[in-house]
Amino acid sequence: MQTTDFWEIAGWALTCSVPVVLLGAAVVRLARTWSLAASMVALVLIPVLATLAGVVGASGFMITQTFERTAVVLLVVSIVTIPAAVMLGRYQARRTVWEAEIRDSEHAAEQSRRRLVAFVSHDLRTPLAGIRALSEAIADGVVPDDEVQVYAKHIENESIRLSEMVDDLFEMSKINAGALTPMFDRVALDEVVDDVLATHRITAERAGVRLTANLPEQPVRVIGSDRALVRVLSNLVANAIAHTPPGGSVTLGLGADENSAWARVDDTGVGIDEADLPRVFDVAYRGSNSRVPRKDSSLPSGSGLGLAIAAGLVHAHRGTVSAHNLPTGARFEVRLPLAD
């Protein structure tokens, strides 16, 4: 082939193929609103059609035997390539979404760990400082003999508080690590409520809060862990008592509908700030409305992780937990799949 022939063929090939490529670029630009399959078909057909147009131009717009063979080859390549491109495109799209979800999950977990560490370092310091100050006062002999027992009682209360915080942190660490695997069985929620009432009745009386339950005539049964569900409702009741002033009430109710069983903890307390509602179950989140002050300092104050632990345990049961305000007070509702 002479040099002049080469450049002539190249010129005709470019003249015929470049418009196809430009038209394809415009099509690809419009393909943003198309489905993934349509976009991949366009991406495969553009180079195939551009090659075919270039061959037509190089052959002098004549249907020769070489052109026919080239057209057949391009047709076969398109038939083979288009399905493969669609499958690879879908795989790559899923992989991109997975990687983005993994990055977001890792970022959220890291943020949660940092908040938890900051929360723990702050809250552990308070009871530890109290224990240290009281014990140093006793050791230095500056406490009168008739007050030693009072100081010792304060130390005991702070130690109990620390123990509860450590237990909550251990539970929260299992939830965050995905290592929470409760033993599931058929559980009657009315029996769970009886255990919760027995646990918190004395605390409610000392806080001046009336603790009652509304139970249906027929037992409400779910599949779950009785110990974990006692912990869930116990945390919700403890939180309600802490935010209900003396003379108020906390009511624990049960029921079921066609889809699920529900347990509700209603209180007549200070309610929840609307801005706090979406975040009340976050780890180490402190709302705008503080706990009701108590004259009795021995009443448990909690670790601040109770709602986050309750949410983690409910999710492990494939259930949901929500919070919203009532005309007076707030309601926390747990929904769980029925046993049958």
187-225 pLDDT per residue, tens: 889 999 999 998 889 889 988 999 999 988 888 899 888
Distance CA(122)–CA(93), nearest Å, equals: 44
* pLDDT at 32 (0 to 100): 65
Highest mean pLDDT among 19-23, 69-73, 134-138, 220-224: 220-224
- CATH 3.30.565.10 domain locations along the chain: 182-340
CATH code at 182-340? 3.30.565.10
**End-to-end CA distance of the chain, in Å?**
83
Distance CA 302, CA 171 (A): 14
Burial per residue of 184-212, b for 16 or more beta-carbon CB atoms within 10 angstroms, e otherwise: eeebebeebbeebbeebeebbeebbbebe
183 contacts: CB under 8 Å, gap ≥ 6: 225
Question: C-alpha distances in angstroms, 253 versus 169, 183, 274?
Answer: 28, 25, 24
Confidence of residue 60 (pLDDT cuts 50, 70, 90): low
Q: Taking the mean position of all CA atoms in its chain, how far away is CA 44?
A: 40
Predicted confidence (pLDDT) per residue in 278-323, tens digit? 888 876 665 555 555 555 555 555 556 788 888 888 888 889 999 9
